[in-house]
Amino acid sequence: MHRLIVKEFRGEFQGCGYGTVGFSATVFSGSTSDPLIPRTSKASCSFGDEELRRVRELREWFNSPGCPVEREPIIDHNDPSQSLQCTKPASLVKRLWCLQPEEFTSTEGQ
């Protein structure tokens, strides 16, 4: 995440964009076999060796048995028979890829 400021508000930490420019995020594949190349986005970012080491470290953690993060099904985007369908999970989780344009959401992360 770029230009994200975390501040305390009413006893809880919240993230917000810097000034009027907002913030941007870059996404990498979670698969350890994929290259360390960010997915296409409007954000223009460059990554040094230290940042790429951190991405590699996070991918290894994500794929480890001890990772508590809920995983999405793996979809082959080149196979038209597979598609992401917005299904409502049992909890109040809203999938980022289910968001509609101009829809507001709160995002929490570590």
- All structural domains of the chain, each given as residue ranges with its CATH number in brackets, are 1-74 (2.40.50.140)
Residue whose entry in the numeric block shows the structure tokens 């990554």: 47
**Stated pTM of the model:** 0.50
- On the question of pLDDT at 52 being above 80, the answer is yes
Nearest one of 60, 69, 1, 67 to 29, comparing CA atoms: 60
Helix, strand, coil shares of the chain, percent, nearest 5, are 15, 15, 70
Q: Give exposure, 30-50, as e/b (b: 16+ Cβ within 10 Å).
A: eeeeeeeeeeeeeeeeeeeee
How far apart (Å, rounded) are the C-alpha atoms in residues 83 and 27?
Answer: 19
Tens of pLDDT along 21-48? 666 678 888 888 888 888 766 667 778 8
What confidence tier does 1 reach under pLDDT thresholds 50, 70, 90?
A: low
